[in-house]
Homo-oligomer: A and B are copies of this chain.
């Protein structure tokens, strides 16, 4: 009646500017992992702020708490043999370092390093347009800093790499 030993599962932490392509990559990777017969759960920042973290704002403290909670969930998932695919701006070094500490050695930091001008041009949710029209919005990339990851496991620029290619590199990185 005991649970089978869980498969090796990773936390893939996609960090980058709004509209960099984090969620697209996370969902595509999740699809591939499932096709390989592995369980995967996407933890999307926007979605989580509508539910679990709807009582958090965008102050530095609230952003850190946002990252902490997501990291704790990712760890729980990994302990059950489920890949966690986190798509979260996560703009601070401190927040990401804490997330890595919580999750442990199976933490894979993916810097989605699509250049700001490309993100601003895509702007599927109109976030940049709104932030540029209303200074002080706190949008990362406009009114709030994005601290470049110092030691990510991989860097992906979606303005020069197709999603399919990126997914294969991610799978290759984890030996999946």
Which residues of A are at the interface with B, using a C-beta cutoff of 8 A? 1-4, 27-28, 30-32, 34-35, 39-43, 47-48, 51-52, 55, 65, 69, 72-73, 75-77, 80-82, 102, 163-164, 167
Contact = CB atoms under 8 A, between A and B. Distances in A.
B27 A77 contact: no
Given A52-B73, A73-B73, A27 B3 contact: yes
A55 B32 CA distance: 36
Contact of A41 (B42, B69, B80, B163): B80
A96 to B, nearest CB: 17
Q: Is chain A's binding surface mostly helix, strand, loop or mixed?
A: helix
Contact of A69 (B1, B27, B34, B52): B52
A102 B163 CA distance: 33
Given A31-B1, A31-B3, A41 B72 contact: no
A163 B80 contact: no
A82 B39 contact: yes
B47 A31 contact: no
Nearest to A31: B3
A27 B3 CA distance: 6
